[in-house]
Amino acid sequence: METRAAFVFALLLLAVLPALAKDEAKNEPRKPSASEKRKLDKQRKDSLKEREQRAKKNKKENEALGKKVEGVMDAWKAKGFDGAVLVARDGDAIFKRGYGMADREAKRANAPDTLYDIGSVTKLFTAAGVLRLEQDGKLKLTDTLEKFFPGAPPDKKPITLTQLLSHSSGVSRMYEDEHIDSFSRDNTVKGLLSIPLSSKPGTQFEYSNSNYYLAGAVIEVVTGGKYEDYMMKHVIEASGMKDSAFCSNDKLDDKRTAMRYEDGKLRGDVTNWPFTWGQRGCGYLVSTVEDMQRFSDAIDYGDFLDEEARQKWFSVEKETYALGWFCEERDKRKVQYHGGASPGAWAYFARYPDDDVMFVFFLNVSETGKRIDLDVARDLENAIFG
């Protein structure tokens, strides 16, 4: 009887295995067919043509808007704004300018092509990297930490990638220096996962750099290479950014770097700042306001992410946070944005997709307990739409 039961079980297993294999095979790269690609290319071409026509139609209006923005920024210049700003509408940079000094000692001024540390704006790039891995069939957003870190504590194993990227994992933001090993990815992962959860995974929003340290580690586990190498190839360069890289990258031009000034003291430059596991995944991408316009254009007209990935990127999970973006509606107007900060640096990047408007500004001066980024962002938004 036992032999017969074993035989029946074996037959059932043989029947199930092909189905399991079929399910596993579903995790394949999403690639458009030749006809679909032609259709997408035509849609982009038509959209860009419409944008060009819209820019011509709105030329005088956009020029007037640029003057209005100039007035706003002149007021901020008088208040000590040090950095660069760019505002674009209909694909054209209607205003871009640098203010203050990139290097006070060398008397080198800030400019639209100056390199700045963009801080936590890096998070939306990391999220794009994970989405690209899903697009390429390397993982699923529903995958849990157990898949990537088998030694994770039982309460952390069920956390999904979606929960990490949307700051709803419950992984605490209250980490200490002892939890971060700057030179060891695995020790950093172990340290962060040793901290008690602040909430049950998937139930609450809590902004935490820990989520993005772990997301950066996932990218390395899946690719078998360095986080920054993958991000450079598949997100940064793939989106058409020309000057951007992570700090300490040889690609960055020292002659264009902004120095960091915090509380009136020089804290070094942005290009040679060490890039370790104290930053990977959650910050320290270096960029220019001009490159951020290229990136914004690529979101709408590029192909580094497909439509399914982009929809997930901007789909809110908890409160107003999607995957690496805050996404809100103000006066019935959609806005997608993120800010960032690091020693001697502030950053803010915002997109208004239905209005074909974006703006970005970076600062290379900061003061403890004082922030002006949200006030500058508010004034720019009011000037553009007020």
List, in sequence order, the alpha helices (H) in the chain: 2-25, 34-57, 59-78, 122-135, 145-148, 161-165, 185-193, 209-223, 227-231, 289-301, 307-313, 373-385
CB crowding 234-247: b at 16 or more within 10 Å, else e: bbbebbebebbbbb
Contacts of 160 (CB under 8 A, 6+ apart): 141, 142, 143, 144, 145, 169, 201, 202
Residue 336 pairs in a beta bridge with: 327, 351
Determine the pLDDT at residue 26: 61
For CA atoms 24, 29, 30, 33, the dihedral sign is negative
Determine the pLDDT at residue 20: 38
- DSSP labels, 326-378: EEEEETTEEEEEEEEEETTEEEEEEEEGGGTEEEEEEESEEBTTB--HHHHHH
- pLDDT means per 10 residues in the chain (386 residues)? 43 40 62 90 94 97 98 96 98 98 97 97 98 98 98 97 98 89 95 96 96 98 98 98 96 95 93 90 97 98 96 97 97 96 95 98 93 95 95
Domain spans in the chain, listed from the N-terminal domain onward: 61-385
Q: Is the pTM of this model over 0.85?
A: yes
Determine the pLDDT at residue 176: 85
Q: Which helix (H) or strand (E) holds 102?
A: strand 101-103
The CATH architecture assigned to 61-385 reads: 3-Layer(aba) Sandwich (3.40)
Determine the pLDDT at residue 147: 98
* CA–CA gap between residue 320 and residue 316 (Å, rounded): 6
Determine the pLDDT at residue 273: 86
